[in-house]
Amino acid sequence: MKKLLFLLLALPTAAFASGAAVHLDSAPVNPNDKESLQRGARVFVNYCLNCHAASYMRYNRMQDFGLSEQQIKDNLLFAAEKPGEPMRVAMSTGDAKAWFGAPPPDLSVITRSRGADWVYTYLRAFYLDSSRPLGWNNTVFDKVGMPHVLHELQGQMAPVYRTEKNAEGHDHQVLERMELVKPGKLTLAEYDALVGDLVNYLAWMGEPAKTQRMSIGLAVLLFLGLFYVVAFYLKKEYWKDVH
């Protein structure tokens, strides 16, 4: 029983260690930046929602970061009729499997599953690879089946590697940097900012009540702290004759 418990506790550590070889950049996640969330929602609807659903999220939940229902209807409601509907896609599972080899995953909780830093780095790590069916590969997710849908914005990148020796003394290739070989519509800094807004929105979508939950939790802790002082002196008053 003890061995089984040890193995279960060790699994998350082992999983983390297995992905440690890939350097992940820090995602600029700020759930209080409403303008960033609005920009990220726009990018998500225009570029991601064509293939990836977010079926656990409803359009009208975007009112939480400052959008009115009319703004949602006019600017973001392309794949549904009512703001109260979930964010689904029209593409069938069969078509998705035929085109991409597997249905694109639902992105409702992708940052909670993969981590915001992973998604942020992944969306900036595509490069041209003629050996892949769709012509794209990714330094974070090798042999990825997803095309680079943002390539017109970012441009075409190429990985630059350097040779290092591993612990056994053998040479192996290590990614040094990504190099721009064909500019896109945005500069690299502008593209990074756009991806940052998108990941910020994805992180918010994974737990839209997080900010409210943390505020309530802080209020509860403050109340318990004050109540502890009251309870301490009340206990002293009740037990003063006993002691």
Domain ranges of the chain: 29-236
Question: DSSP secondary-structure letter at 60?
Answer: G
With bands split at pLDDT 50, 70 and 90, how would you rate the model's confidence at 243?
low
Query: What does the pLDDT look like over 197-228, one tens digit per residue?
Result: 999 999 999 999 887 888 888 889 999 999 89
Collapsing DSSP states into helix, strand and coil, what is residue 57?
A: strand
pLDDT at 177: 85
pLDDT at 100: 73
Give the residue with greater pLDDT, 173 vs 185. Answer: 185
What number of CA atoms fall less than 13 Å from residue 179's CA on the CB side?
Answer: 7
Which helix H or strand E contains 225, and what residues bound it?
A: helix 210-239
pTM: 0.78
Instruction: Give the Å distances, CA to CA, from 42 to 74, 114, 121, 176, 197.
Output: 12, 22, 20, 32, 9
* Statement: residue 3 has pLDDT above 70: no
pLDDT at 15: 39
Q: Where are the alpha helices (DSSP H) in 87-187?
A: 93-100, 110-114, 116-122, 151-154
Mean pLDDT of the chain: 86
Contact by Cβ (8 Å): 185, 152: yes
Amino acid identity of residue 221, one-letter, is L
Query: What does the pLDDT look like over 91-149, one tens digit per residue?
Result: 777 777 777 777 889 999 999 999 999 999 999 999 999 899 889 999 999 999 889 99
- CATH numeric code, 29-236: 1.10.760.10
* Statement: residue 33 has pLDDT above 90: yes
pLDDT at 98: 74
Task: Name, of 22-26, 27-31, 85-89, the range with top average pLDDT.
Answer: 27-31
